[in-house]
Amino acid sequence: MSHLPYVATATLTNGSAVVTGTLSAFEINVFPGDIVRGPDEKIYGVQSVESSTSMTLDRPYLGATVTAAVNVFRHSERWSAIADTNARLARIEESMARGYTMKSASSVAIGTGIKTFTGVESGLNILNGVRLRASSRANPANWLEGICTYTGTTITMTVATNDFGGAGTFTDWNINLAGAKGSTGSSAATPNVTTPGNVPTYSNANGTALGEGFAVSPFCQAMLSNNSAASVLGELGQRLTIGTIANGGVVVLDFGAATYGIILLMATSTGSARPALIHVRAASTPGVALLADGGAGAAWGLFATALTGTTGTDVTLNLGVDATGKIYIENRRGYPVAMTGYFFRI
């Protein structure tokens, strides 16, 4: 293969193969095997290059002796290899420009099994084992997907269960590259991060079990002893309307097996008193705390202070429970009191 010529001014003598250059650079521009077109319009081969101003042709010069421009063309196997590489690159670029998208007019039904698509474009860079998706141009919701082989102008697809969508038979297929499906995780409709009714447990570095903190489970009951209402079950932070306690009525707060607990009571008098929030903390050693009798008079005094007056002062009471895990709060206000409770265990 030839390339653009190197042009030099040289003297050629009739009957001599030696060519003498003038201000030439034969050593770096001319190689054995190159082609020289002489002033006589004949072609000569370069046999050797002796210096920057001298080279020898493969035969004596046939024209008249002259000093003139000489054209040297390169011709070698090395340049042929480069030309072949360029041709291959051109073919690759052409193939890439076409992309991976194919079309087929084959009549193929939606469903599992072996599906054959003919008439697709040939020569694409697709290897056997690739995963492809075929979808209807009119309605892409009708599709097939699977591992494929590609031979000539035919795509053969193996469609497994759940690897298709829609229904029917179609002849307007677009075929594109696809990827394998990932594993299915939990959905928002059915979360799997919590299990109702169970409480997580923890331990320290020594393996000792730690307290459960606030438990998300029923643990405390509020029962009105002066009427026939059933015991009320409360969960963490749940608001329970105890109702109106008549004068002399008793509210029984049952901690059950709990060691410690917090009870928040909102008592709203039907008279002039403001609401009062009372915190009652169960003691670790059970004991009697009957707010209605003289044995707990001091505590009852605090409770009464909270329910009277105009400020609605918050009062915290540290009280022991009786042997059955209960605390009793009795209404001695002289008139009915409406009550709401929040129950916690710690």
Tell me the mean pLDDT in the region 130-145.
Answer: 95
Rounded to whole angstroms, the Cα distance separating 343 from 263 reads 5
The residues, any chain, with a CB within 8 Å of residue 308's CB and separated by 6 or more, are: 273
Q: Which of 25-39, 78-92, 188-202 has the lowest mean pLDDT?
A: 188-202
Query: In the predicted model, is pLDDT for residue 215 greater than 80?
Result: no
pLDDT of residue 340: 62
Residues 240, 220: Cα–Cα separation, whole Å? 11
117 has pLDDT over 60: yes
CATH of residue 63's domain is 2.40.30.180
Same domain, yes or no: 241 and 317: yes
* 161 and 247 fall within a common domain: no
Q: Are residues 116 and 59 in the same domain?
A: no
Amino acid at 121: E
Same domain, 167 and 269: no
Tell whether 97 is covered by a domain: no
The pLDDT assigned to 246 comes to 67
Is residue 13 in some structural domain? yes
Do the Cβ atoms of 237 and 342 come closer than 8 Å? yes
Whether residue 28 lies inside any domain: the answer is: yes
Domain span including residue 285: 220-345
pLDDT band at 88 (very low <50, low <70, confident <90, very high): confident
Examine the pLDDT at 214 and tell me if it is beyond 60. no
Q: Are residues 315 and 254 in the same domain?
A: yes
pTM above 0.85, yes or no: no
pLDDT band at 31 (very low <50, low <70, confident <90, very high): confident
Spatial strand order in the sheet of 239-245: 239-245, 337-345, 261-269, 276-281, 315-318
**pLDDT classification of 320: cutoffs 50, 70, 90:** very low
Count of structural domains within the chain: 3
Has residue 182 been placed in a domain?
A: no
CATH code of residue 127? 2.40.30
Band the pLDDT of 98: cuts 50, 70, 90: low
Q: What distance, in Å, lies between the first and last C-alpha atoms of the chain?
A: 93
The identity of residue 15, as a single letter, is G
Type of residue found at 33? G
How is residue 77 written in tokens? 């196997």
Q: How confident is the model at residue 76 (pLDDT cuts 50, 70, 90)?
A: low
Please report whether residue 259 resides in a domain. yes
Domain boundary among 78, 113, 129: 78
For 1-32, letters b (16+ CB in 10 Å) and e give eeeebbebebbbbeeebebbbeebebeebbbe
Q: Do 18 and 114 sit in the same domain of this protein?
A: no
Residue 160 lies in a domain: yes
Same domain for 118 and 171: yes
Q: How confident is the model at residue 166 (pLDDT cuts 50, 70, 90)?
A: very high
Same structural domain, 258 and 335: yes
Please check whether residues 235 and 284 belong to one and the same domain.
yes
- Residues whose CB falls within 8 Å of the CB of residue 203, separated by 6 or more in sequence, listed in order: 209, 210
Instruction: Decide if 155 is inside a domain.
Output: yes
Q: 275-316 pLDDT, tens per residue?
A: 333 334 333 333 333 333 323 333 333 343 333 333 334 444
pLDDT in tens, 240-275: 556 666 666 666 665 555 444 555 555 554 444 433
What is the structure's pLDDT at 229?
Answer: 42
Answer yes or no: do 271 and 328 share one domain: yes
Same domain? For 56 and 128 the reply is no
Q: Is the pLDDT of residue 113 over 60?
A: yes
From 148, 177, 206, the end of a domain falls on 177
For residues 167 and 255, membership in a common domain is answered with no
Instruction: Give a yes or no: residue 210 inside a domain.
Output: no
Lowest mean pLDDT among 222-231, 232-241, 290-299: 290-299
Q: What mean pLDDT comes out for the span 55-75?
A: 90
